[in-house]
Each structure stands twice: as structure tokens, then as C-alpha cells.
Copies of this chain bind each other. A is one copy, B any other.
């Protein structure tokens, strides 16, 4: 009964502002404080300024302030802290894809004709709980009837994906570790990253410390030596080690979206959202295969179709590397590499800043940090800066990337959001 028309937005939507808190562990701050940090960062960097009363609606991605902080109804609470009442604001939750979905809601709100200026963002305050508590809260995004009672935590689930990939494609442990090394190299160039440091520096600091303390000096001659050391880089869930896992992070991020027809009033360098896709995947326990996330493929296909572009045209990409294996799988599911080629591409440096297919120039979730509800929008912020040519030390060598893509996953592929952006 549905019409077979090609789906397109009634109005074009552009990004004209972006702000991010520092990512890290901020014991003294609440959710609302952190989001205000992000918002202030955005307002300070608006090309032509912004009055908070010009914002007509807001969408806030947040996975579970409920479980992390005991605070529900978090969007209006944050809006009140910002001084944004009576502007309507709505919390969007799709686990770690919450703010990827929040961005889409902002896009649709403007395209619908209802609003012209919309704030979208995400925030998560994770460090109030001990690590085991955080692991439990994150596990709540898996299937509570089938997966959690079977003992699956997220490292366990992604460990299973890694095992399947290793089995099927001869992926090895060093392939995984190299993704982490590359993302830390990028994170070292990102002042807001939680780990603003290379693995090499971390290794050298450890060696220095051993020397200072008169301890046995570790025989690491390079990063892979260091990362293959069970003490320096302990196993979390085989085949994943500590440095295969994104950290626990407090952070917030936001973007200002406007109808493209009025973007010029805000900046001379708006970034248009030219494609958007979202899909739902079956939970791991009944997924069709483990070496790919079906939701990524569906969401990507929608976004590519809407934008009218193919993977080879994308200049810069942020993918959801909650674990190193997740980046490899995403790089294949998004069509950048053939199935099974992702590990080799990572190994050969093709996904590095200087490679032919740069991925996670921000440092990714691995090094930049992963405040789960904020990560989707934080990815878009990196693309926004890269496309505007203002990514600083990590600006792509080709100074004029034109098309960017973000890939944000919730659960084990339960939700995937893919968005495509174009510099005009």
C-alpha cells in the first residue's frame, strides 16, 4: 500500500556549529555540567554567534543516565541547566547510537517544516560507577532474556565477533592491535581526546618509569611488543586485550542544525547532511552471521542511495570502533574494503591519516573516548572540522575533503546509523 517513491528530505539541512567537552573522567561533574561544557564550546566557536533563544528544538542522545546517575527525564533537566526552557527537547535512546539517532531526529524536524534551527547532542556521565558496574550497565543494551543471562558482556560479544572473523578470514591478533595503534596516533593529535597520546609514548613512559624505579627494563622494541605483553596489555575477553577496547568516558557533544536555506546567516562554511540511514539488527543470539553487522549494511545502503554517492567517493570516515574488531568489520560493511580485506588494510596503513582510506582521524572511540550517548555526535564533529579544513594537526593531508561519513552502532548491531556529509 505504500508508495514506491524515492525517499528524500523535503528541505535540505546543514550543520553550522559544533562543540564538545573534553573527553575523560570528571568525577566532580554531572551529566548536565558536561553537556553545558559542550554547548559553551559550540557557542564560543560559532562563526557569527548564536542566541540560545533562536534555538527552536533540541534532541539529546543519552544511553542511560537512569542507570549511571539515577536521573531519568534527562533532556529537560539538561535544558533547564542550559537556560533553554521553554524550547522543546527530547531524549533519544538507541544505546551507543543514541546521538546518531538524535542527529537524524534533528534533520527530520527541520525537513518536516516545523523548525528551522535545532540543537542536537549527546551526553554520558559514566565514571560514577566502578568498572564492573559500567560493564553491567552497558550489558543492559544486549538482550536481557537471551544474552545477558548467558554471561555475555560487550567485550565478550565483540570477542565472539573477532573470533568468527579470525576463523573465517585469517585475521590475527596483530591486525586488531594495529587498529588501536593507529587510533592512538590520531588521538595524540586531538587535544580533546581522553587518550591524547600514542601507544609508543605510553610504552616509552613505562620504560622510563621502570628505569627510574630501578626495575627490570621491559624488552619492548616497538608498539606491537608492548601490546603483546600480557602484563602491559591484559586480556579482557579473548581475543580482545585492554587496548582493543574503547575506554569508559565522561563527555558531551553538540551540533547546531539549520535549514540550508538560512545557513549563510550562521557561517560561510556550512556542512550539508546529504544522506542518512538507520536500521535495526537482530541481537547477536539470532544474527545471521558474526563477521558482519546487517544493520550497518542496511543503514549504509539507505545513506548512499539518498546521497547518490558510492563508498569510493567518501574522503573521510568515522566508524564505531568500540572495539578494534568493530572498526575492521565496519570498514568492510560500509563497502570500503571487501569482506576479509579490512585486517590487511589496517595492517598496511591504508586507514591511517596518510593512507588512501583514512578512518577515525579523531582517534575514534578508542583514543578520543566513548561517552556512549555522545559518541555519535562527536563523530560528526570530526567530519565537520575535517570538511571545513579546521581539524588542526590531524587535518587530512588533502586539505579539501568534500564528502564525509559517520557510522554509529548501538548494542551489537541492534541499531546502526550512517550519515553522509558534504562540504558545499
Residues of A at the B interface (CB closer than 8 Å) are 1-3, 5, 7-11, 30, 48, 50-51, 54, 56-57, 63-64, 66-67, 69-77, 79-80, 84-95, 101, 104-105, 107-117, 137, 140-145, 259, 262, 265-266, 276-283, 286, 294-295, 298-299, 410-411, 414-415
Nearest-neighbor residue (CB-CB) of A57 within chain B = B278
Partner of A144, one of B48, B70, B91, B108: B70
Q: Give the distance in Å from the alpha carbon of A140 to the alpha carbon of B298 in the complex.
A: 36
- A282 B90 Cβ-Cβ under 8 A: no
Closest residue of chain B to A277, judged by CB?
B88
Q: Does the CB pair A72–B76 fall under 8 Å?
A: no
Name A66's contact: one of B64, B117, B280 (CB within 8 Å).
Answer: B64
Beta-carbon nearest neighbor of A8 in chain B: B113
Q: Is the pair A280, B113 in contact by a Cβ cutoff of 8 Å?
A: no
Given A1-B48, A73-B95, A80-B282, CB of A90 within 8 Å of CB of B113: no
- Contact indicator B280/A80 (Cβ below 8 Å): yes
Closest residue of B by beta carbon distance from A297: B86
- A79 interface neighbour in B69, B72, B93, B280, Cβ under 8 Å: B280
| Cross-chain contact A76 with B411 (CB below 8 angstroms) | yes
Chain B residues with CB under 8 Å of A10's CB are: 10-11, 111-113
> Are A280 and B89 in contact, CB atoms less than 8 angstroms apart?
yes
Are B278 and A88 interface neighbours, CB within 8 A?
Answer: yes
Would you give the shortest CB distance from A256 to chain B, in whole angstroms?
A: 11
Collect the chain B residues with CB atoms within 8 Å of residue A63's CB. Answer: 72-73
Question: Could you say which of B50, B112, B266 contacts A108, with CB atoms under 8 Å apart?
Answer: B112
- A sample of 5 cross-chain residue pairs with beta-carbon separation below 8 angstroms, ordered by A number, consists of A1-B265, A5-B116, A73-B95, A86-B280, A87-B280
| Contact status of A84 and B262, CB under 8 A, knowing A73-B414, A90-B94, A410-B73 | no
A10 CA / B110 CA spacing, docked (Å): 10
